[in-house]
Chains A and B, each alone.
Chain A
């Protein structure tokens, strides 16, 4: 339905005055035509809602008090930055994202290096490694919360009892250490993703050059440091960028495992709660805008380096 709308807009749309070169105009538009439906689709469905959020973030709008709707200036932002919970959500988001991405990157790199070698059962190990990524996130979160972390019949405390005897400690993982509990569960899910990207990078390495270096007497560490790592750089940057984008936005695990309890709400969960439970549209929107700003700053830094790859292409 929307595609037709978009296509109509393409057919009837007048060319912008910017590129009015008499001869090249139709050619320019013939080139643009295939792009426009997708471009318009993305702009309408992502940018318009965000503009809406931006507008609401400057309004007093709580659906419990419909009569008090009006312009609020920066007061929502002031409330977000002075609210203890909101500030804690910012800190949690940063801690969660940085630690999960680092853990996933290091583990992912180690596992990718191990899987890059031929050994018996490599395919089986790779399949086992990929499984966490293929589990639906909320299913994975339920698994960690109920089957692994549960203090009474969870696997972790059960293993402690089996290995350490009946007086083994039986920690309440989620209750006593909500952030590490979240970090472990999210890292478990995203390490395979990072590993897949890095493994693809390793396997695109020109092996004959590595062989030549080995014949010339280079050690494994030298080869890794001076040949593998430089080759992997764009893949590492890509995995960090994508990992960051997805982990910053994590909602499923926080929602399921801790429900934001004991200072473990990240920004997406905080926004959801403010919007859904408190029905405070203005404040939720301001928090949403803050989330975007934070994500953009982090990702732009990562993206700038990734985009150097595109500059080298010519076509």
Chain B
């Protein structure tokens, strides 16, 4: 494995560069995936059948909490990558750990939100609107869940093997994924919750 020391660690082998480009293309596909979900949501937004409408079920405080947590986690994963770049393993592990903990906090808030929806009679089967809402939120939530376990695997590897071209590459790609989830959340926050509450 040839290592090019003029490049940052995560780009330092040819396979690493391929991995990163491949992942960017994958994110392109993910953008299409969420764009499709948003399209479905916008079409279903007012098709509430006999069920409740958006303004009736949305609550601002849990959503603000979720947004705050997720945005913070995007910042901490950025710090983790910075720590990785300067070769500070302990700091990197700490920030990675904080990111994942924030991910769990986000998920538990979201699960609470879903339970709330269930209690106010907005279940998956209620209407076209609730199906689209819960599928969009659920797909994002599933991505965060997957990201949590993925990040956990990487955390263990960095702890065991230290920062090397392999783990640096994985961590960097994971950070791209995590930022992407944040970007999607910003769209969810703006175009589902805020728009729905206005």
Q: Do A and B come from one complex?
A: no
